[in-house]
Amino acid sequence: MITDMTYRPSGIQVGKMRVPLGGVIGIIYESRPNVTVEAASLCLKSGNATILRGGSEAIHSNQAIARCLKQGLSEAGGLPETAVQVVSTTDRAAVGELITMPQFVDVIVPPRGGKGLIERISRDARVPVIKHLDGVCHVYIDSHADPEKALKVAVNAKTQRYGTCNTMETLLVDDEVAGGDLLPLLAEQFRSKTVELRGGCQRTCAILGDIVEATEEDWHAEYLAPPILAVKVVDGLDGAIEHINRYSSQHTDSIITENYTRARRFLTEVDSSSVMSMPQPDLPMASSMAWALRLVFPPIRSMPVGRSVWKGLPHRSTWCSVTAISGPDTMHVIYGGTFDPIHHGHLRLALEVSEALEVSRVHLVPSHIPPHRGGNTGASAAQRLEMIRQAIAGEPALALDEQEVQRGGGAHTLPIHCASFGPSWGGRIALW
């Protein structure tokens, strides 16, 4: 299926094509019958058939849901009733058979279940397995963190839900800020919510006083339901990255900081599936997560810059354009886009353009209405402007231009950009 076909300025059409993951996905899980309908719908939506094997605790609910799915497929037309199959037996031998039949199953996904189940599937499967075992997740409070935000984010990361795989299990605090009020205030908040703290070093124990000393096992522990948190004072960003890359299960790790350069380094050097910088509390959750996730927006390793007007960026959704306006003594670059959210891929490209072309300034020009989203955006124009201000702080080669947002309406094309911005910068238009 090809969707979202749009014309680029060069005249070519660009769209998205959905390709099935494999063909037949086997999904093994325990207890919760809601997984049955959720997994079935996701597989169907992505163009895959599925074989589902739920736990014995919910066998009757799963079979009832299976009958409903079968009826729905028969009434919908166009899809075989066998596109979703639910294993009817509770015999554990059925799992062993399912994971050793590559001729019938293309991939196995064990999304829900205990550690023993996932370990067994990973060990015995002859079919490729998509899995993640442990959730040993870290939050690092940097020396450049806002104390009030750090307190809220850290407490929420541990106490919102104890039993999820992305719950914080280890809190790391920069030595520069640990000795003040921050760490004692955090300890007070955690203890008020009955969280047991375990000190991971002499500095932590000295600051917090009466605290259980952490052992080597604590750094590997996914506590889940027991409300326990390992706490360690580290030597700055280097110490935090070193600890995380040694002990993390590569699930979700976060930094709380107001320094974009330090956040960008953390996102680049921490090797986990979800790496986040401090979520912005005033943004919608979806936009805040997208802004933070390196998984969604991978770093650009190399972006050659030549005499070309348009440069493609390898990330989803955001349209971007780059062109130059030159004058007698200056040359400016216009970098247009939605920037919802801006991320270090944008910054990398902008800085490489600035260096390669030796320009006076790269102007980031966010659109008022994203042209590819029909006016729908996770963050408002004001929120996107604020994200850009924070992102380019301390980068003299970059500037924010609000003309598009102030003008309103849809996004301008590049020639209109140049005609509009060129005179205001005292330069002549030079489309390369």
DSSP state of 129: B
The edge-to-edge listing of strands for the beta sheet with 24-28 is 84-86, 49-53, 24-28, 107-109
The answer to whether the beta carbons of residues 292 and 279 sit under 8 Å apart is yes
Exposed, middle or buried, 227 (CB in 10 Å: 0-12/13-18/19+)? middle
Give the per-residue pLDDT at 302. Answer: 26
Give the per-residue pLDDT at 290. Answer: 33
Terminal C-alpha separation, the chain:
36
Q: Which of 54, 228, 248 is nearest to 134 (CA)?
A: 248
Distance CA 132, CA 115 (A): 10
* Beta strands, E only, 62-114: 84-86, 107-109
The answer to whether the beta carbons of residues 172 and 204 sit under 8 Å apart is no
Q: Domain segments of the chain: what residues?
A: 2-124, 137-278, 320-429
Exposed, middle or buried, 165 (CB in 10 Å: 0-12/13-18/19+)? middle
Helix (H, G, I), strand (E, B) or coil at 4: strand
pLDDT tens, the chain, 432 aa long: 677 777 777 777 777 776 677 689 999 887 788 889 999 998 988 889 999 998 888 899 999 999 999 999 988 877 898 999 999 998 888 888 999 999 999 988 875 556 677 777 888 888 888 776 678 999 999 999 999 999 999 999 999 888 788 899 999 999 999 988 899 999 999 999 999 999 989 899 999 988 889 999 999 998 887 899 999 999 999 999 999 999 998 888 999 998 878 887 888 888 887 888 864 433 333 333 333 333 322 332 222 222 222 222 233 333 344 444 444 455 677 777 788 778 777 887 788 777 777 777 888 888 877 655 555 556 788 888 888 888 888 888 889 988 888 877 665 544 455 555 555 544 433 333
- The phi and psi torsions of 161 (rounded to 5 degrees) equal -150, 130
**Residue given tokens 């960026």 in the structure block:** 313
Give the per-residue pLDDT at 315. Answer: 31
Q: Which of 67, 127, 128, 117 is nearest to 92 (CA)?
A: 117
Give the per-residue pLDDT at 362. Answer: 85
Is 3.40.50.620 the CATH number for 320-429?
yes
Distance CA 257, CA 32 (A): 37
Q: Helices in 256-301 by DSSP H: which ranges?
A: 260-269, 285-292
- Residue 126 is inside which H or E element, if any? none
Q: How far is CA 379 from CA 298, 360, 387, in A?
A: 20, 30, 10
Give the per-residue pLDDT at 281. Answer: 37
* Beta strands, E only, 285-360: 320-326, 331-337
Q: How far is CA 323 from CA 186, 274, 391, 409, 429, in A?
A: 48, 33, 21, 21, 10
The answer to whether the beta carbons of residues 1 and 301 sit under 8 Å apart is no
- The phi and psi torsions of 406 (rounded to 5 degrees) equal -65, -35
Is 3.10.20.740 the CATH number for 2-124?
no
- The phi and psi torsions of 409 (rounded to 5 degrees) equal 75, -165
Q: How far is CA 94 from CA 56, 88, 143, 348, in A?
A: 12, 10, 53, 50
The answer to whether the beta carbons of residues 181 and 191 sit under 8 Å apart is no
Distance CA 169, CA 228 (A): 7
* Superfamily for domain range 137-278: Aldehyde Dehydrogenase; Chain A, domain 2 (3.40.309.10)
The answer to whether the beta carbons of residues 108 and 125 sit under 8 Å apart is yes
Give the per-residue pLDDT at 12. Answer: 76
Do 137-278 and 320-429 share a fold?
no
